[in-house]
């Protein structure tokens, strides 16, 4: 090597698993920022400092990468919802579902933006058209049990579940920009509207778990 020149340190070579994870994270950020149509394989490869064939080798194309990103986000969201359903009483379970949704949105903002953005037109089979259906199904199960106990038409539980999940998702889109009040307060007010209705709203709703902690004991729902 000529005198005065310094040798550039070589970057450690990534394993196939590491490269795949890197491409997923880069794709996730770009899809959240620009949407599916606004993201290109060229830019994904550029940010990863690899050639386009490397991206194709791992995912077969942009749609394949998008599918992996969406599947991971849905698994994360559903795991959070499922783990929140640990109480038997309907109101508290709804509170925990709303809080789980808001926590997911808070912690994985990019993932939420991907799930609620317009989806690839190429997926005419509707694969991405109802990404929150599993969340709706979970809530519908909760409401269906409660409707059955109260003698209501259980076939309407899905309609109410769609309304609740849609309400939380829409409110969360607004909340992402302001980040106040706290997610616990937001969840309490959303379930207040869902559970009590406009004609029976509580002036200062709190989550059942908060009331229980304040009371030092069990709180009926």
For residue 180, CA distances in Å to 25, 102, 132 come to 28, 12, 24
Please classify residue 209 by burial: count the beta carbons closer than 10 Å to its beta carbon, then call 0-12 exposed, 13-18 middle and 19+ buried: middle
CA distance 164 to 19: 39
- Other Cβ atoms closer than 10 A to 163: 14
Distance CA 202, CA 167 (A): 18
| pLDDT given for residue 118 in this prediction | 55
Task: Report the distance separating Cα 10 and Cα 7, nearest Å.
Answer: 9
142-176 residue pLDDT tens: 778 878 887 888 888 888 888 877 887 788 888 88
Q: How far is CA 76 from CA 67, 166, 186, 188, 192, in A?
A: 14, 19, 21, 23, 26
pLDDT attached to residue 105: 83
Opening angle at CA 65, ends 63 and 67, nearest 5: 70
pLDDT digit string, tens, across residues 7-58: 555 566 888 889 999 999 999 999 988 888 889 999 999 999 999 999 999 9
Nearest to 139 by CA among 182, 186, 185, 77: 77
- Running DSSP on this structure, what letter comes out for residue 26? H
The predicted pLDDT at position 200 comes to 78
pLDDT at position 75 over 50: yes
**Residue that the structure tokens 């000529």 belong to:** 2
Is the full-model pTM beyond 0.75? no
182-221 pLDDT, tens per residue? Answer: 889 998 988 888 788 877 777 788 888 888 888 876 555 5
CB 24 within 8 A of CB 68: yes
């Amino acid at each position: 090597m000529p005198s005065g020149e310094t040798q550039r340190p070589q970057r450690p070579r990534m394993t196939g698993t590491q490269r795949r994870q890197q491409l997923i994270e880069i794709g996730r950020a770009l899809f959240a920022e620009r949407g599916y149509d606004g993201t290109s394989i060229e830019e994904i490869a550029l940010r990863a400092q690899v050639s386009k064939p490397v991206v194709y080798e791992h995912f077969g194309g942009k749609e394949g990468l998008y599918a992996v990103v969406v599947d991971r986000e849905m698994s994360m969201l559903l795991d959070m919802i499922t783990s929140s359903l640990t109480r038997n009483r309907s109101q508290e379970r709804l509170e925990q579902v709303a809080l789980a949704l808001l926590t997911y949105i808070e912690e994985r903002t990019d993932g939420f933006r991907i799930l609620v953005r317009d989806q690839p037109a190429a997926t005419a089979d509707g694969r991405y058209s109802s990404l929150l259906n599993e969340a709706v199904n979970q809530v519908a199960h909760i409401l269906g049990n409660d409707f059955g106990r109260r003698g209501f038409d259980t076939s309407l539980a899905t309609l109410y579940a769609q309304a609740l999940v849609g309400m939380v998702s829409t409110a969360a889109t607004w909340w992402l920009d302001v980040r106040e009040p706290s997610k616990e307060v937001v969840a309490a007010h959303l379930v207040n509207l869902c559970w009590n209705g406009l004609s029976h709203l509580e002036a200062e709703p709190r989550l059942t778990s908060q009331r229980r902690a304040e009371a030092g004991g069990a709180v009926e729902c």
